[in-house]
Amino acid sequence: MSVENLNTVSLGHSLQKEVSGARAAIETRLATIVPSAQTWPARLHEAQRHALLSPGKRFRPLLCVFVAKGAGLDGEASIDVGCVAEMVHAASLILDDLPCMDDAALRRNQPTTHIAFDESTAILTATALLNRAFGVLSRLKHVDAEKRIELVDLLSYAVGSKGLIAGQMADLANSDNNASIAEIERLNTLKTGALFDFSVEGAAVLAGAKAAQRAALKDFSYHLGLAFQLMDDVKDTIMTDEEAEKSVGRDVGKATILALTGSDAAMERLAAYIDSAKAAIARANLNNETTLNVVLDSQFSFLKS
């Protein structure tokens, strides 16, 4: 093996170690951010931990940590803001899986919260996780009050009636097979992209990123959200429950890009979204672009299988 190839392998191992270390720090913080399963009311807190600590790639927290680091900030605050995104994500999945929504039985290769517990506990669990998320933002250490207020405002918008909740509402009514790609992208931007926007823009706020850098990062999270939702639509069609580690076949009858364009065109569009996301990261001029690309490639690795 040449010296160049050895250096490439060494760099790859170093980056993977860096990502693994960040993921371990995120897991440790998530385990302490909500009460123990023995805390009264025990059933509620057991359900919180069931949903929040179930095995996942922690993609949103990793984005927050590495975007902040690339913009010049490394420390506990970015881990906490990333964990906030994961808490809201877990809450949204609990609600999305309910019988009145997608009626799913499997999530992250374990029973969904309403199956493992009951519907009432699931709803209260999602509400508790969402409330706790805002509390974490309000108490960020070594972050000035102005930035904490901006982060709370960002999260309220990302989750609210013009963000994630709007996207979920639109998805429940998503049966218009004459919908245009632009209309579907708008829904996907709300339902899936909103939390990516918070994770990335939250990191930019923490790091005090300049306007041009924030604009590039916003473009990055936009295309990433579109890519992630289209990837999810593809998995819903081609994978089994075991392969996807969740209930699939939930998109039958919905207007999706995959249903509208067919699989070949959808895969070309997915690749274009990822390319656009990576181009935006390059424009953001972060000092760890390679690390972020490793995080992205890991998330979309099924495309190479």
Please name the residue ranges forming H helices in 239-288.
241-244, 257-261, 263-284
Helix axes 76-96, 59-70, angle to 10 degrees: 150
C-alpha–C-alpha distance, residues 279 and 284, integer Å: 9
Residue type, 299: Q
Q: Who's near 229: CB < 8 A, 6+ residues apart?
A: 188, 191, 192, 193
Which structural domains are found in the chain, ordered by start?
Answer: 3-299 (1.10.600.10)
User: Are the C-beta atoms of 140 and 77 separated by less than 8 Å?
Assistant: yes
Name the β-bridge partners of 106: 111
Per-residue confidence in pLDDT tens, the chain, 305 aa: 333 343 444 456 788 888 999 999 999 999 999 999 999 999 999 999 999 999 889 999 999 999 999 999 988 999 999 999 999 999 999 999 999 998 999 998 899 999 999 999 999 999 999 999 999 999 999 999 999 999 999 999 999 999 999 988 888 887 766 778 888 889 889 989 999 999 999 999 999 999 999 999 999 999 999 999 999 888 878 767 676 667 766 666 677 888 888 888 989 999 999 999 999 999 999 999 999 999 999 888 877 65
Is pTM beyond 0.85? Reply is yes
In angstroms, rounded to a whole number, what is the distance separating the alpha carbons of residues 47 and 51?
A: 6
- Point out which residues pair with 111 in neighbouring strands: 106
pLDDT at res. 137: 97
Locate 141 and state its tokens. Answer: 């250490």
Structure tokens at 11: 């760099």
